[in-house]
Amino acid sequence: MRSKRLARYGLLLALALVFSYLESQIPLSMAVPGVKLGVANIVVMFALYRLGGRAACLLSLLRVALVSATFGNAFSFWYSLAGAGLSLAVMLSMKRSGWFGCGGVSVAGGVCHNLGQIAVAMAVLHSTAAAAYLPVLLCSGVVAGVCIGLVSAVLIRRIPA
């Protein structure tokens, strides 16, 4: 039923936007850019496990586009896109393989998001300087991924169809 799906996606997208916005208001790290909880990933995880890979991709990419259009800039768009793109690709293949649970998929998603952003930063700066942030971002990505994974797992299990 098309309109029902549209409404559902719209709702999830709005939720992801609100999460992104709220999160941007609470800076987690002063000196290291990119350290964040990734709360919007809860929506992506939910979509991935309950609605399918296509829904997850659509929601994630739309979220990136809208967030950078409303409170970002052309610059941040490419970073977010790279991060979200890599994150999605990895999450999709990990889920499909069946080897990992929600926690692992979420952790990989979070870490890959940061990796994608660092890769773009290195390309833009023509320098490997950004790689210095890897240790911090890997750790924060793991911690955030675990938290998000836990919340997502509960929602995936409990929210009625």
Partner 1 sequence: MDRQKRRDLVLIALLLALAGLLWLILRPSRAGAWVVVRVDGEEWGRYALDPDRTVVIEEKGRNVLTIQHGSAAITQADCGDHTCIRTGQISRSGETIICLPHGLVVQVVGGAEPEVDGTVG
Binding site for partner 1 (CB under 8 A): 30-31, 33, 73, 75, 98-101, 103-104, 107-108, 111, 121, 124-127, 129-132, 134-136, 138-139, 141-142, 146
The smaller minimum CB distance to partner 1, of residues 62 and 76, is found at: 76
Least distance in angstroms from the C-beta of 92 to partner 1: 16
Shortest Cβ 39–partner 1 spacing (Å): 19
* Exposure of 26 in the CB half-sphere (CA atoms within 13 A): 9
Using CA atoms, how far apart are residues 85 and 32, in angstroms rounded to an integer? 22
**Which residue lies nearer to partner 1 by CB, 10 or 135?**
135
Distance CA 120, CA 102 (A): 27
Nearest-5° Cα angle at 111, 109 to 117 = 100
Rounded CA gap, 54 and 140, in Å? 28
Q: Is the Cβ of residue 11 or residue 139 nearer to partner 1 in the bound state?
A: 139
Nearer to partner 1 (CB atom), residue 33 or residue 85: 33
Whole-number minimum distance, CB 9 to partner 1, in Å? 28
Of residues 12 and 152, the one with the C-beta less far from partner 1: 152
Length in residues, the chain: 161
Instruction: Quote the least distance from Cβ 117 to partner 1, whole Å.
Output: 10
Under DSSP, is residue 152 helix (H, G, I), strand (E, B) or coil?
A: helix
Closest separation in Å from C-beta 161 to partner 1: 22
**What are the respective helix, strand and coil percentages of the chain, to the nearest 5?**
80, 0, 20
